[in-house]
Amino acid sequence: MEKILITGGTGFVGRYVVREALKSGYEVHLIVRNLEKAKKLFPENVSFHPLEIFTDRLNLSSIVEKVKPQYIIHLIGIIQEIKSKGITFEKVHYEYAKILYEAVKQNPPKKIIHMSALGVDENAPSKYHITKLMAEKELIKCGIPYAILRPSFILGPEQLLFLKLKPVMEASPILFFPAIKGYKFQPVDVRDVAEGFIRAIDHKEDAIFELCGNEKVTLTDIVKDYVSQKGKKVLFFPFSKSILGLFAKEQLKMMWRDNICGYSDNVLPIQRLLKREPLSYRESIKWSATANQ
């Protein structure tokens, strides 16, 4: 049985990747910081390797040497910095990836599958996208076969936006939300993303994949459709990008262009991974809102 070593396995996307890997018959190993959380999520059939600090190169190398995985899936990422705790885009996206890919050189896997993000580009103004691109380059230059996956907005019950909306909706029959216009996503179902990570193992050539769904929608559309599936109503109020910049300048920079597929050259579509069309936006929104009710 071939082994997969996964980082970020207890996160939103990670938990689905782990389940997909188990379903596909792999021996799954997770590098985890919170062991109790990991055990609750995966009470059986998963091996855990605690690592308190990801920059602990010695212990990270020891884990890789002990497991000797055929494949590594690197999922760790953040969407917002917490500088007071030393959590920055450069540290989490770039330094963590660099340390990991240096650590595996002594025991190289057959392939590394790396979580990046749609929107990475040499001209991107945000640290989020710049550090994602830096991590991609670090992987490419390490010389190990790879697949890089760049998803758009990911739909699923555990999507952070939806988790934040739930208590607000429970407290009031009407949700008030800022209407940010002129910026589109091409949302993709987390189940398709997870399947894509496992299917990427069998893709023969090094490749970068863009993961998008079948509809282009605004954040307003996503919130409206999600709230509607919950049987609630939402009222939107004008909220310009310039106002957003007063509170979250880095998030504003992330919106430098629509988060949709098709801007980049030499990338492959999700259909090449899944061998089918992705799950529909309507189906994904409904599932995101009604699962686990």
pLDDT tens-digit readout, 76-89: 999 989 889 899 99
The pTM of this model reads 0.94
Question: What percent of the chain lies above the pLDDT cut of 90?
Answer: 79
Which sign, positive or negative, has the C-alpha torsion 212, 215, 216, 219? negative
Q: Which residue has the higher pLDDT, 255 or 206?
A: 206
How does strand 233-238 pair with strand 174-179?
parallel
**Does the pLDDT at position 43 exceed 60?**
yes
Q: Has residue 283 got a pLDDT over 80? A: yes
Which CA distances in Å does 147 have to 96, 192, 276? 18, 16, 19
Give the pLDDT band (50/70/90) at residue 167. confident
pLDDT at 142 (0 to 100) = 94
Task: Decide if 103 contacts 60 (C-beta within 8 A).
Answer: yes
Q: Reply yes or no on whether the pLDDT at 131 is more than 80.
A: yes
Lowest mean pLDDT among 12-16, 139-143, 237-241, 286-290: 237-241
From the list 20, 21, 16, 25, the residue with the least C-alpha distance to 5 is 21
Q: Is the pLDDT of residue 293 over 60?
A: no
CA pseudo-torsion sign 113, 119, 121, 127:
negative
Confidence check: pLDDT of 206 > 70: yes
245 has a pLDDT exceeding 90: no
Q: Supply 133's token pair.
A: 């691109």
Q: Which region among 81-90, 156-165, 216-225, 247-256 has the lowest average model confidence (pLDDT)?
A: 247-256
Cα separations in angstroms, 109 against 74, 101, 237? 13, 10, 51
Q: Are 178 and 242 in contact (CB under 8 A)?
A: no
Instruction: Write down the residue that tokens 């600090």 correspond to.
Output: 53
pLDDT above 60 for 269: yes
Give me the domains of the chain, ranges plus CATH numbers: 3-158+186-214+260-278 (3.40.50.720)
Identify the pLDDT of residue 27.
98
Does 143 have pLDDT greater than 80?
Answer: yes
pLDDT at position 256 is 75
pLDDT-derived band at 234 (thresholds 50, 70, 90) equals: confident
Q: Which residue has the tokens 């098709």?
A: 262
